[in-house]
Structure 1
Amino acid sequence: MVDYQGYILLFIIWLVSTIFVKAILTRKYKKSKLPPSPLSLPIIGHLHLIGSIPHQGLHKLSTKYGPIIHLFLGSMPCVVASTPESAKEFLKTHETYFSNRPQSSAVDYLTYGSQDFSFAPYGPYWKFIKKICMSELLGGNTLSQLLPLRRQETTRFVSFLLKKGKENEVIDVGRELLKLSNNVISRMIMSQTCSENDGEAEEVRKLVQDTVHLTGKFNISDFIWFFKNWDVQGFSKGLEEIRDRFDSMMERIIKEHQEVRRRRKEVGGGEGQIKDLLDILLDILEDESSEIKLKMENIKAFILDIFIAGTDTSALTIEWALAELINNPHMMEIARQEINDVVGNNRIVEESDIINLPYLQAIVKETLRIHPTGPLIVRESSEKCTIQGYEIPAKTQLFVNIWSIGRDPNYWDNPLEFRPERFINEVGNLDVRGQHFHLIPFGSGRRACPGTSLALHVVQTNLAAMIQCFEWKVKGGNGIVNMEEKPGLTLSRAHPLICVPVPRFNHFPSM
């Protein structure tokens, strides 16, 4: 017979021990001048206060306990910064202490042991890839060379919307924008659009969505120490399936690229040909004189980074912006008139027009302020430091709440109101590249997003084309779009945006 009394006794001993150890640790941390903190519970710490949408839960806590607060998420010590001033302290003044990202078991597995760029430890490899990103992979010259690919995808997208509009068919705007951004990224990475292969297109999109979904889930093993080596929630099977699918796809694509490269060398061709991102990475892999020797796992992990970061975030930003404009038709009309004055009705807006469209740029900035697709910047302290008189221990996770910062009434009048005019009349040419800490949708400092320029190109141009060429007729909800958020790693909409794209021209602009 099973000795249930023995198991119960062991459980009681374990629980009392855990509470005792927790009390000792809490007393130790209290002596070290930590930031303000709510009362915590044994084992789970402050997890019960975060809620299903973390950036919203952390925002509520910051309004009560201050701009810098200390939390225990399970057994993991964390600090949360929720104002521009506190963000600047962590991301600029004391940046050297917060240049690492915390390790997530799911991300670590999917990126072949954090051999990517986004989650790699700060050090020689990360510095090398950052330099390659800024000078070659995502630098100005490469983006200019790949402009025709982006223009073709915008044309393809508008043609699709025109077909659906003429047939009076509804579309899921977010889903179609995911296809658009996925095609742009696919062509830039491997010189082919997923639309050329519907099976592969769906495979890549599902892979991206499954990865974002799984890595965005709370993993108890990452936060409660005695579950560290247990797969309590059964994530392992899903992670293995995703990485196997991605690995098989990348093996196939890389082999195809290597075969094309071999043939070019045999015939002595390829000079002056535009290289895609995979070609650039394979060049570095084959370069014996490279200061850092890349492995194939580095290339695969880096490409996964680009797919995840470039697909979901750009699509979400355009979707949030369009939803706001539908709910504010006078703003839609101002933007449309501006495009008409600059571009006219004989051609579709292009990237080169954006510089002359300040109101459109203001719409995108306002969208990034109030709907930042990455609502939390996550870092980890490499060693003990002191910030604003508070002692921050080593291995403390940092959360900079961008979502909260964009709603700071000390910097934004009527912060909950969507008002693009503020970027023209009030704050002028406020940049989004991390220099102004009350608007940091792409992060700031060393680990700011290196794809900011690409994201702005894709978002601004395609949003402008959607405004210029179509009226957007919402299905259901009396024409009003629900702006509720849902849980996830990125700032997704709780309800899909379902519309009919009604063509605005009898004779459509040239494409």
Structure 2
Amino acid sequence: MVPLVSILVVLALPVLVLILLNKHRSPKNRRPPGPRGLPIVGNLLQLDNSNLNFELLQLSQTHGPLFSLKLGFQRAIVISSPKLAKELLKDHDLNVCTRPPSHGPLKLSYNGLELIFSPYSDHWREIRKICMVHFFSSKHISSFSHVRKSEVKQMIEIISRHACSSKSTNLSEVILSVASAIICRVAFGRKYDEEGAERSRFHNLLNETQAMFLSFFVSDFVPFLGWVDKLTGMHARLENTFKALDVFFQEVIDDHLDPNTVKQSEEMNMDIVEVLLQLKKQDRMSIDLSYDQIKAIILDIFVAGTDTTASTPVWAMTGLMKNPRVMAKAQEELRNVCGNKEFIEEEDVEKLVYLKAVLKETLRFYAPTPLLPREAIRNFTIEGYEIEAKTLVYVNGWAIQRDPEAWKDPEEFYPERFLNNEIDFKGQDFEMIPFGAGRRICPGISLGMATVELITANLLNSFHWEMPVGMKPEHIDTEGLPGLARHKKNHLCLVAKKRV
């Protein structure tokens, strides 16, 4: 018995030493503080995916602007202050410049062949270069101004008909329709938003794809419980969405390859699919531009391009309706600068200083993209804490853009804060990062904002806006839905009155 006890003591000593060392280890080796979790699932059951940015903000108020979570078998940290966002996205950008692998996005993006969800690599850099040179350059964005103008004019005509019949306008639907029409014409060379079965198919596909991007898959966090995704039907739903998406993209490509299809004249701009097919044909790329590659790239344009472009004007109109003083000031600027012009052109928008401040405040206050996900590709230290490779990193833009240490009266919708203020949303000011920062900043900012500004300016120029009968501005809710961009949970329905 004595030798057995001695052996057990000897074997236990190293374990005890490790426990003591772990308890008293130096701060630089400690993980950030965070809420206690449950065995296996960690903190997963404590978080609601539909309201994640709010919940992470509340946790930061308890555990600090840098805290950790355990999401199943995954370690995660959350950043909730401008100071730490700058340290992470500027000083440690190369350490966290990849995306966390997630079952839904990887499947839909042909295993990460595109830009948004692709892991950081030579391949990603080449795809980004293609997009920046051929799609998001100032010249290319300007060349499609006629598309934006024609579609926004059609939007005004639709709302004018509603105004003539005193009919309420569902702005959420109308703005989504014009945003998707613009993106489709730029990307595919035609609209898929006309009346009938094709429109229904298009919108259902768009909505389902957006839902799948941020749907919760158990297998992402607890791999051995992946069977739960099959049991709940999530796996089948993802497969069906991918197949429908692939069929749609193949039809788009086949239409462009069909010699009988009427091609654009040389004087007109090539759409994105046509550009990609020409690049594939030239075979001058350092990567193999396969058809799956082309489908993955246009997926980004199709979903991400529509998502933020559609949600931001809706949030802007929400803020304006809930703040009549701001609405009156924005419309007064339009009258003073543009006079009685029936349509506000893109060159007019550049003179609308207060309108631009309204849109900046919309991006700050409503944060259409509230969470920025990254993943550590190597170990690094921040605030004395050791962050291990493969750790999930969430930058809570919602919390940062409402940080009382960075913003005066952050819970007030106050566009004047951006007048005579150089803070912008282009990734250099870390108290304002609606589109991210560093290597993973959204490359389509200029394209998206050109559309957002034109839509919002003309909504304010053409109409006076009122609440439906029996409703007051304070009745407009500000709940959001999860997604690549944060849309209003309940549609924004208003009554338009033609400007006299």
Q: Is it true that 1:454 corresponds to 2:463 in the alignment?
A: no
What residue identity is the alignment partner of 1:154?
Answer: V
Equivalent residues of 2:255, 2:261 under 8 A apart = no
Aligned positions of 1:136-215 closer than 5 A:
136-196=134-194, 198-215=196-213
Q: Is it true that 1:347 corresponds to 2:342 in the alignment?
A: yes
**Once the 2 structures are TM-superposed, how far is the Cα of residue 272 of structure 1 from its aligned partner?**
4.1
Alpha-carbon distance change, 30 to 303 in structure 1, aligned in 2, over 3 angstroms: farther
Q: Distance in 2 between matches of 1:363 and 1:30?
A: 51
**Once the 2 structures are TM-superposed, how far is the Cα of residue 211 of structure 1 from its aligned partner?**
1.5
Aligned positions of 1:291-370 closer than 5 A:
291-370=286-365
Q: Is it true that 1:424 corresponds to 2:419 in the alignment?
A: yes
How does the TM-score come out when normalised to structure 1? 0.89
**Once the 2 structures are TM-superposed, how far is the Cα of residue 261 of structure 1 from its aligned partner?**
8.8
Aligned positions of 1:435-450 closer than 5 A:
435-450=428-443
What residue identity is the alignment partner of 1:477?
Answer: M
Q: Which moved more, 1:194-203 or 1:45-54?
A: 194-203
Match of 1:486 among 471, 477, 480: 480
Equivalent residues of 2:85, 2:395 under 8 A apart = yes
Q: Distance in 2 between matches of 1:156 and 1:30?
A: 67
What residue identity is the alignment partner of 2:189?
Answer: S
2:254 — aligned with what?
255
Q: Distance in 2 between matches of 1:354 and 1:110?
A: 36
Task: Output one character per residue of 1:320-357: Cα deviation in whole Å (capped at 9) or x when no partner.
Answer: 11011111112111111111112121331111112110
Equivalent residues of 1:81, 1:87 under 8 A apart = yes
2:37 — aligned with what?
40
2:12 — aligned with what?
none
Q: Secondary structure at the match of 2:286?
A: coil
What residue identity is the alignment partner of 1:474?
Answer: M
Identity %: 34
Match of 1:55 among 53, 60, 71: 53
Q: Distance in 2 between matches of 1:263 and 1:180?
A: 24
What residue identity is the alignment partner of 2:168?
Answer: V
1:127 — aligned with what?
125
Q: Is it true that 1:245 corresponds to 2:239 in the alignment?
A: no
Equivalent residues of 1:37, 1:69 under 8 A apart = yes
Equivalent residues of 2:36, 2:43 under 8 A apart = yes
What residue identity is the alignment partner of 2:121?
Answer: G
Q: Is it true that 1:372 corresponds to 2:364 in the alignment?
A: no
Equivalent residues of 2:280, 2:289 under 8 A apart = yes
Q: Distance in 1 between matches of 2:214 and 2:92?
A: 28
Q: Distance in 2 between matches of 1:304 and 1:157?
A: 25
**Once the 2 structures are TM-superposed, how far is the Cα of residue 217 of structure 1 from its aligned partner?**
2.4
Match of 2:459 among 466, 488, 491: 466
Q: Distance in 2 between matches of 1:114 and 1:67?
A: 31
Alpha-carbon distance change, 74 to 168 in structure 1, aligned in 2, over 3 angstroms: same
Q: Secondary structure at the match of 1:285?
A: helix
**Once the 2 structures are TM-superposed, how far is the Cα of residue 44 of structure 1 from its aligned partner?**
1.9
Match of 1:412 among 397, 407, 415: 407
Alpha-carbon distance change, 423 to 368 in structure 1, aligned in 2, over 3 angstroms: same
Which structure 1 segments of 5+ residues have no match?
1-23, 506-511
How does the TM-score come out when normalised to structure 2? 0.91
Q: Compute the RMSD of aligned alpha carbons.
A: 2.1
Equivalent residues of 1:55, 1:401 under 8 A apart = yes
What residue identity is the alignment partner of 2:318?
Answer: A
Q: Distance in 2 between matches of 1:396 and 1:251?
A: 36
Q: Which moved more, 1:269-278 or 1:280-289?
A: 269-278
1:383 — aligned with what?
378
